[in-house]
Amino acid sequence: MLLTLSTHRRREPPGLVELLEACHQRIRHFIGLCREVARRGDVPGAEVARACADAARYFREALPLHVADEDESIFPRLFGSSAAVDNALATLRVEHAQQEEQVALLLRALEHVRRQPLDERARSQLSAIAVPLEAELEEHLLLEESTIFPVIRDFLSKEAQRSIVDELRARRSSSALAIVNTEAKP
């Protein structure tokens, strides 16, 4: 028997479903942050402004990448696996379009609160958008987690899942390059 010198195990890179679960946790975190910013009048203005900027950056930059991951890389590969999955995919695509409009309203409300963190009316407007959007997003995420994630695990080969992960990473790499190139222009 060999002596084990270290109990540290090399961890496998996260799989596709684990990456999607992490994205869903970030969505939940940032929409919850929006709700809390709107609700909490006892937080210093600078902290409110920073939270608004962080949430806005997430919803402006990261969420569209997640939606593209699903619409462009995942959903097409799952289409046709079953009638139930096809119905769920149709619902999810419609919800993506509806959420895009809601997120645009959320971004405007976040900007208003960021500029005027102590304005109760601005916080109220943020709440009027964030609270129902949080409920809609939760329902959407639960549908994906209960219907789509199991099909990814059971229907897609490990190779197909790795290909999707590569596409997700490439999408983020090209997005980061676009942001850097935009920022570098005078």
- The pLDDT, as a whole number, for residue 9 is 58
How far apart are the two ends of the chain, measured CA to CA in Å?
Answer: 64
For the chain, the average pLDDT equals: 89
High-pLDDT (> 70) share of the chain, % = 87
Cα 74 → chain centroid: 15
Q: How many CB atoms lie within 10 A of CB 41?
A: 11
d(CA 40, CA 48): 9
Percent of the chain with pLDDT over 90: 81
Output the pLDDT for position 141: 97
Instruction: Give the model's confidence band at 6: pLDDT under 50 very low, under 70 low, under 90 confident, else very high.
Output: low
Give CA–CA dist 35/131, Å, rounded.
6
For the stretch 179-182, contacts whose Cβ atoms lie closer than 8 Å and that sit 24 or more positions apart, written own/partner, are 179/61
Better-predicted residue by pLDDT, 158 or 6: 158
Q: Could you give the domains of the chain?
A: 16-174 (1.20.120.520)
State yes or no: pLDDT of 183 exceeds 50: no
Mean pLDDT of 96-107: 96
- Over the stretch 88-97, which tens digit does the pLDDT of each residue have? 999 999 999 9
CA distance 71 to 154: 19
Residue 12: pLDDT band (50, 70, 90) is: low
The pLDDT, as a whole number, for residue 7 is 58
Maximal C-alpha separation, the chain: 70
Task: Quote the pLDDT of residue 79.
Answer: 94
For the whole model, what pTM was predicted?
Answer: 0.85
- Work out the number of other CB atoms within 10 angstroms of the CB of residue 16: 22
Angstrom CA distances, 95 to 86, 90, 132, stand at 14, 9, 13
Output the CA torsion 149→150→156→162 (10° steps). Answer: 40
Closest CA to 162 of 24, 17, 10: 17
pLDDT digits (tens, 9 = 90+) for 125-179: 999 999 999 999 999 999 999 999 999 999 999 999 999 999 999 999 876 545 4
pLDDT higher than threshold 50 for residue 1: no
**Three state DSSP letters for 9-27:** CCCCCCCHHHHHHHHHHHH
For the chain, helix (H) and strand (E) counts, in that order, are 8, 0
Dihedral sign computed on CA atoms, order 70, 11, 26, 178: negative
